[in-house]
Structure 1
Amino acid sequence: MICFIKVIRWLPAQGMAIFPLILIKEDSDYKNEQLINHEKIHLQQQLELLILPFYLLYLGNYLVNLIIYKSHNQAYRNIVFEREAFVNDDTKNYLETRRFYSWLQYI
């Protein structure tokens, strides 16, 4: 997978994937393999859903979670796409063995 990494100092998160970019907050984050892998998982999810539907599902899942959990952090951590990424971001070869639509098992 080809991706481009760009440092954005005002980024509200440590990292963010907006196809085909991985945005990071600090120069040192280039070396954070877990963070980069986490964001690459999101790029793969975005490709599977042809990009735009990913963002709609992501936002919809976040809003439903916000109603359920009444907490931004809990709503964010329970987005199905984030759940897959957090569980697997420390596995270096995860994207090589990952099946399409693996995020569905985190619903």
Structure 2
Amino acid sequence: MIFISKYIVPKGYTGVALFPFVFLKYIALKNDEVLINHEKIHLRQQLELLVLPFYILYFTEFLYRCLQYRSRSKAYRNISFEREAYTNEKDLNYLKSRSFYSFLKYY
């Protein structure tokens, strides 16, 4: 289910997946198939890790990448979950063929 909320989506981002919802900053983004696919990839990651462990791993890896790259934006782009989503966001059929724990390939 997709909701529009400029208050839930962090500054500098256009969307966020918080299982089982996708929040977008603007209503026009509902037509952005690539963005929606990106967020759906995150929903699948969250589901396969039973939600809470996903968030723990996500933020732990973000902190590790911050130390590694000394840049929040580089850290964010290099989180394995984000690397999988960005790499495959344009393949609108990706989720049909994606195997479990595919994010591990991007670690």
Fold conserved between structures, TM > 0.5? yes
How far off is 1:87 after superposition? 0.1
Structure-2 separation of matches of 1:104 and 1:67: 20
Structure-2 separation of matches of 1:15 and 1:90: 16
Tell me, yes or no, if structure 1 residue 68 matches structure 2 residue 72. no
Give unmatched runs, 5+ long, in structure 2.
none
Give unmatched runs, 5+ long, in structure 1.
none
How far off is 1:37 after superposition? 0.2
Report the AA paired with residue 5 of structure 2.
Answer: I
Structure-2 separation of matches of 1:60 and 1:9: 26
State the partner residue of 2:27: 27
TM-score by length of 2: 0.95
Secondary structure of residue in 2 paired with 1:74: helix
Structure-2 separation of matches of 1:15 and 1:32: 11
Which aligned pairs between 1:36-47 and structure 2 lie closer than 5 A? 36-47=36-47
1:23-61 CA distance string (max 9 Å, x none): 000010000000000000000000000000000000000
Which aligned pairs between 1:42-53 and structure 2 lie closer than 5 A? 42-53=42-53
Structure-1 separation of matches of 2:6 and 2:52: 25
1:56-84 CA distance string (max 9 Å, x none): 00000000000010111000000000000
State the partner residue of 2:98: 98
Report the AA paired with residue 18 of structure 2.
Answer: I
State the partner residue of 2:5: 8
Structure-2 separation of matches of 1:14 and 1:56: 22
Report the AA paired with residue 66 of structure 2.
Answer: L
